[in-house]
Structure 1
Amino acid sequence: MPKVDTVDKLFMNELKDLYSAEKQITRALPKMAKAATTEELRQAFETHLEETRGHIERLDRVFEILGAKASAKTCQGMKGLIEEGAEMIEEAEEGEVRDAGLISAAQRVEHYEMAAYGTVRTIAQQMGQQEVADLLQQTLDEEGKTDKLLTKIAMRVNKEAQRKAA
């Protein structure tokens, strides 16, 4: 594998990592939706799945603008986060406690994505790639909205989980 010795190469490397992350998420979200007990959480995962497909389409467009083939480099960070989410499904008892765990896992994914998209957006801006930066910002904004929605759902789910445990 060639060395990442320029910002351009770093940028492409990060985009390929994000492409892999988004593809992994599209495989994980249906499992999370199926494991969710509360309808509101299930719906949030299903909605985010559709948004994630849009994120992939935006990344396809980014690669196209840059004159590069859309390709993925396995995102090990996302792979680990998704494995933790899968463990949560296996380990937690069905109900609000599992939902709270799923929200926790999903928010870790969102925060990872927000960090990655923020980084590549900034690099794109610094490279003078404003159209690319705008596309990446759109995805960053959606990830932030999803994170806020998950927090809102968690406030109810966590309270209900605690009430049932008492």
Structure 2
Amino acid sequence: KLGKKPSGTDCPAIDGLIKESDETAGEIDDKSVLDAAIVANAQAVEHYEIARYGTLIAWAEELGRDDIVRFLTTNLNEEKAANTKLNTVALRKGVNRKAAS
């Protein structure tokens, strides 16, 4: 849409979240607790992505780039939906409750 091919780039923040997730998983023996930790770590990634998309949208708005705002807003909504699904797993599916018992 924007006339450019996406390119990969390193993200130290996401790398840090992944490292933390790996370390946490290596320290937990109880499967129920591990499940809750995995959901929590996935939510940390989603929250980071939501924050970054929010910032990018604000910048695009400031530049008057409504085309980019629409594109990024679609991505933001996808990240919010993913976070909602993780909340459902943690709370309604009982992952957190099982970990606490």
- Short-chain TM bin: 0.7 to 0.9
Structure-1 residue corresponding to 2:100: 162
Show the counterpart of 2:40.
104
Which letter does structure 1 place at the counterpart of 2:52?
Answer: A
- 1:70 is displaced (CA, Å) by 2.9
What pairs up with 1:34-113 in 2 under 5 angstroms? 61=1, 65=2, 67-113=3-49
> Could you report, residue by residue, the CA deviation over 1:38-72 in whole angstroms, capped at 9, with x for unpaired residues?
xxxxxxxxxxxxxxxxxxxxxxx4xxx1x545323
- Alpha-carbon distance in structure 2 between the residues aligned to 1:135 and 1:75: 21
Give, in angstroms, the shift of residue 144 of structure 1: 0.9
Deviations 1:6-46 (A, max 9, x none): xxxxxxxxxxxxxxxxxxxxxxxxxxxxxxxxxxxxxxxxx
1:49 aligns with: none
Distance 2:74 2:37 in 1: 28
Choose which of 117, 120, 127 in structure 1 pairs with 2:53.
Answer: 117
* Structure 1 residue 119, shift from structure 2 partner: 0.4
Q: Distance in 2 between matches of 1:160 and 1:119?
A: 36
In the alignment, structure 1 segments of 5+ residues that lack a partner are: 1-60
Q: Deviations over 1:144-166 (max 9, x none)?
A: 11112111211210111223xxx
Percent identity over the alignment?
35
Residue 75 (structure 2) pairs with residue 139 (structure 1):
yes
**C-alpha distance in structure 1 between counterparts of 2:5 and 2:96, whole Å:** 43
Distance in 1 of aligned mates of 2:86 and 2:5? 34
Give the alignment's Cα RMSD to 1 decimal: 1.5
Q: Can you give the 5+ residue segments of structure 2 that lack an aligned partner in the other structure?
A: none
Alignment of 1:1-20 (within 5 A): none
C-alpha distance in structure 2 between counterparts of 1:139 and 1:129, whole Å: 16
**1:147–1:127 distance in 2 versus 1, CA, 3 Å:** same
- Count the aligned residue pairs: 99
Normalised by the length of structure 2, the TM-score is 0.87
